[in-house]
Amino acid sequence: KQEVTQIPAALSVPEGENLVLNCSFTDSAIYNLQWFRQDPGKGLTSLLLIQSSQREQTSGRLNASLDKSSGRSTLYIAASQPGDSATYLCAVRPRSGGGADGLTFGKGTHLIIQP
Amino acid sequence: GAVVSQHPSWVICKSGTSVKIECRSLDFQATTMFWYRQFPKQSLMLMATSNEGSKATYEQGVEKDKFLINHASLTLSTLTVTSAHPEDSSFYICSARDSGRGVNQPQHFGDGTRLSIL
């Protein structure tokens, strides 16, 4: 059964720092990996999606990498801002026969950017 | 961009009440929608996959008679929590994938429904 682990569980850094969030998964048979942001009491905002054949994706100050063979992904946030404070979730879409499976999520990294 | 609307956003009701949650894709069609549940400080867990025009597929440990799913159109799925009890209190969130754009498209999530059973 696929398991997704995110490290660290919580992170607090001063504004302006670059930071890396880590995600690992146990089964490399995936269609894709997706990073989300969740604000308190809110739904999910998709940040980046990496297909299994890709190594990285970039959007603005965010860069996500994927090493499928080792079951790892990282989310790099450059020049962090207080508005980046949120919980960041990593999720994989398992590869199965039906092609319509839901996502398996990690517990998230709770990020606080200090002004 | 793709928008998923979920309603209501917050429900507080007495034990034994049945509660219906709606999930709509506003600007795309979705033959498949997904329902997740998130308990405090836990990850989102997939409950079921909602299939337009057919029965939903439930994950292990999720009672199909407790959580009724109807996906009657390409833009609407509903989750009904029947005879809800305090242990059903949780954050329920749906997602949908644009069925017109291939199997590797991202899932788009609603804003979730916080259900509190007294």
**What digits encode the pLDDT tens for the residues A39-90?**
988 889 999 999 999 999 999 999 999 999 999 999 999 999 999 999 999 9
φ, ψ of residue A4 to 5 degrees: the values are: -120, 130
CB atoms within 10 A of CB A89: 27
Which of A68, A87, A103 has the highest number of chain B CBs within 10 A, making it the mutation to test binding with B?
A103
Sorted by sequence, the CB contacts under 8 Å of residue B60 that are 6+ apart come out as: none
For B23-36, how does the pLDDT look when each residue is reduced to its tens digit (9 = 90+)? Answer: 999 989 988 999 99
Higher pLDDT, A94 or A65: A65
Residues of B in Cβ contact (< 8 Å) with A106: 43
Query: Which pLDDT band, with edges at 50, 70 and 90, does A95 fall under?
Result: confident
Nearest chain B residue (CA) to A110 = B41
